[in-house]
Structure 1
Amino acid sequence: MDAIRVRGLRKAYGDNVAVDGVDLDVAHGEVFALLGPNGAGKTTTVEILEGYRRRDAGEVSVLGAEPGAGGLRERVGIVLQGTGEFDELTVGEVVRHFARFYPAPDDPGEVIERVGLADKVRARTHTLSGGQKRRLDVALGIVGRPELLFLDEPTTGFDPEARREFWQLIRDLQAGGTTIVLTTHYLEEAEALADRVGVIARGRLIAVDTPRSLGRRDSALATVSWRTPDGGWERTHSATPTAVVTDLAARFSGEVPGLTVTRPTLEDVYLEMIGDH
């Protein structure tokens, strides 16, 4: 049985259909990234899976149970876009307090260290920066050793170094068997972490594939560009870029000035998909 199984999921707010017949499977131990523009339906979909919002129609199974069922919350970790405020408590106090909600929590001190807040353990949370507060949100989401972890825009406010450190934390959690559902607007984050990505637009899941193969980008034509002797630029699109580069090397008797070989990025494919919908 998959960690998540969804069939025909539908949710409407009056005449506005937010989720329109979504089918989705997420395997145990997988990192799955759900991508989509604001208002596309991804947040509503995730909130239904988390048990925060009721669906109008469809079948949903999360770890073999109905979302929000008794006992399920002990097995699921959730990192929302914003968590409650604990201004007068220290980082250590907040994480230790949340650890008591679970039957077999992780060590709070180790969790604080893993999210990069070891030097802030005695700091009151109102003194934390935006990125540090986000790390605290993540600590609260993983302290219960979840089998399934929902991460909603987890690295918002992180600087590039902190983001890379967080990516390693996600890889470590996956290596330990945690299934992860990630929503993010950072396409490089989805490409770095996800085994598969799904693209949702206007309430419909329009594509699911690996980041490498989404939109057939792995077989898309490569663009070869180079600088001409008169200082201009030329480019060509080819399914065999190595052959093009070999011909250019012979033409220039060695190094090709300004040579670049590129294929469509995940962002290129994603923007084309949502533009079509």
Structure 2
Amino acid sequence: MEHAIEVRALRKSYGKLEVLKGVDLEVERGSIVALLGSNGAGKTTVVRILGTLLKPDAGTASVNGFDVVAEPARVRASISLTGQFAAVDEILTGRENLVLIAKLRRVPKPQAVAVGLLARFGLTDAGGRPVSTYSGGMRRRLDIAMSLIGDPPVIFLDEPTTGLDPEARLDVWKVIQELAGGGTTVLLTTQYLDEAEKLADRIAILHEGTIIVSGTLAELRGLLPPAKVEYVERQPTLEEIFLATVGRKESR
């Protein structure tokens, strides 16, 4: 199967509020796709539907070849979802968090799995400490490490660097790039345009319930004419593309 995620004409409303108005999206296997949008654009709703936490009102969606409505158990077995806030137990140590998830997922040799993931994410020295002593970046790395237990082929990262300092953001970016390099498919939602520029193979902009444009960064740059400053051609930034596409004026 070429696509790890396929979405067609997806719609979702909350009462009279129509959040998704016919979303179409394809994500190739082993790629990173960034879903951009302002607050309330529907990014998290898309992720929750793909993660089987919500049912769509109309349209279809499949993950790893399984329909999210007809085959939710198979979808859940194929994915991990990391939300906007790290879902870790602060009382337990980093190692205990990993062992707990490994046991819940019935992964063989949970202790060895925990040791390997602590080393992979640079948390070996902190593995025996309560998570309450971790920095925000360390918690996020542990959260992503927990999501990798069982080697899911598809990972959803919903605004994974919200609230992190610049150094911690770089650490998380490195982890995400390593995931895709190992063949994992990543759907990333973010409000940080530099994050999408740095990480994504393809970028989709969700605005007022639909995806209004998608493509590689080079393709999106081609939507706007290059600016000229002192006779030197300058390519438009992703921020300029985003603001121009959704019809907002750039603040000066």
The 8 Å contact of residues 140 and 172 in structure 2, kept in 1 or not, is answered as no
- The 1:187/1:77 distance shift into structure 2, 3 A limit, reads same
Q: Which runs of no fewer than 5 residues in structure 1 stay unpaired?
A: 226-235, 242-260
2-side partners of 1:211 and 1:104: how far apart?
A: 38
Q: Does 1:92 align with 2:95?
A: yes
What secondary structure sits across from 1:171 in the alignment?
helix
What is the SS of the residue equivalent to 2:77? coil
Give CA deviations for 1:191-250 in whole Å, capped at 9, x if unaligned: 111110000011011001112221525x7223223xxxxxxxxxx5xxxx4xxxxxxxxx
Q: Distance in 1 between matches of 2:115 and 2:228?
A: 50
- Note if 1:202 corresponds to 2:174: no
1:85 to 1:146, Cα distance in 2 relative to 1, 3 A: closer
Match of 1:36 in 2: 37
Distance apart, 1:180 and its partner CA: 0.5
TM superposition shift of 1:86: 1.6
Could you tell me which amino acid in structure 2 is paired with residue 224 of structure 1?
V
Contact 2:51–2:75, Cα closer than 8 Å, also in 1: no
Q: Deviations over 1:96-131 (max 9, x none)?
A: 111223355782222223333222111112222223
1:124-166 per-residue CA deviation (whole Å, 9 max, x = no partner) reads: 1222222322222111112221100101111223332332232
The 8 Å contact of residues 31 and 186 in structure 2, kept in 1 or not, is answered as yes
Q: Is the 8 A contact 2:34 2:188 kept in 1?
A: yes
Q: Over aligned residues, Cα RMSD in angstroms?
A: 2.1
Distance 1:7 1:212, change over 3 A: same
Q: Which residue of 1 is the match for residue 82 of structure 2?
A: 79
Mapped pair 1:128 → 2:134: yes
1:248-267 equivalence runs, <5 A? 262-267=234-239
Name the SS for the 2:236 alignment partner.
coil
Q: Name the CA distance, whole Å, in 2 between partners of 1:144 and 1:174.
A: 16
**2:221 is aligned with 1:211:** no
Give the whole-Å Cα distance in 1 for the aligned partners of 2:104 and 2:72. 16
Count of aligned pairs between the two proteins: 243
CA–CA distance in structure 2, aligned partners of residues 116 and 74 of structure 1 = 27
Find the structure with the greater CA-based Rg.
1
The amino acid of 1:123's aligned partner reads R
Matches within 5 A, 1:18-167: 18-67=19-68, 69-102=72-105, 104=107, 107-167=113-173
What TM-score do the two structures reach when normalised by structure 1?
A: 0.81
When the two structures are superposed, what TM-score results if normalisation uses the length of structure 2?
A: 0.88
Any conservation in 1 of the 2:136–2:168 contact (CA below 8 Å)? no
Say whether the 8 Å CA contact 1:134–1:157 is kept in structure 2: no
Partners of 1:215 and 1:71 lie apart in 2 by 38
Q: Is contact 1:3–1:28 with CA below 8 Å preserved after alignment? A: yes
Question: How many angstroms apart in 1 are the aligned matches of 2:241 and 2:177?
Answer: 25
Identity %: 42
Q: Which amino acid aligns with 2:193?
A: L
Kindly indicate whether the alpha-carbon contact (under 8 Å) linking 2:52 and 2:75 is maintained by their aligned counterparts in 1: no
CA contact 2:137–2:169 (8 Å) conserved in 1: no
- The 8 Å contact of residues 6 and 59 in structure 1, kept in 2 or not, is answered as yes
Indicate how the Cα distance of structure 1 residues 84 and 221 shifts in structure 2: closer, same or farther if over 3 A, else same: closer
Structure 2 unaligned blocks of 5 or more: none
Structure 1 residue 24: deviation in Å?
1.1
Greater RCO between the two (CA within 8 Å, min separation 6)?
A: 2
Deviation string, structure 1 residues 56-76 (Cα, Å, up to 9, x no partner): 000111111122622332321
Task: Find the counterpart in structure 2 of residue 274 from structure 1.
Answer: 246
1:84 Cα offset (Å):
3.8
Give the match's secondary structure for 1:71: helix
**Match of 1:34, SS?**
strand
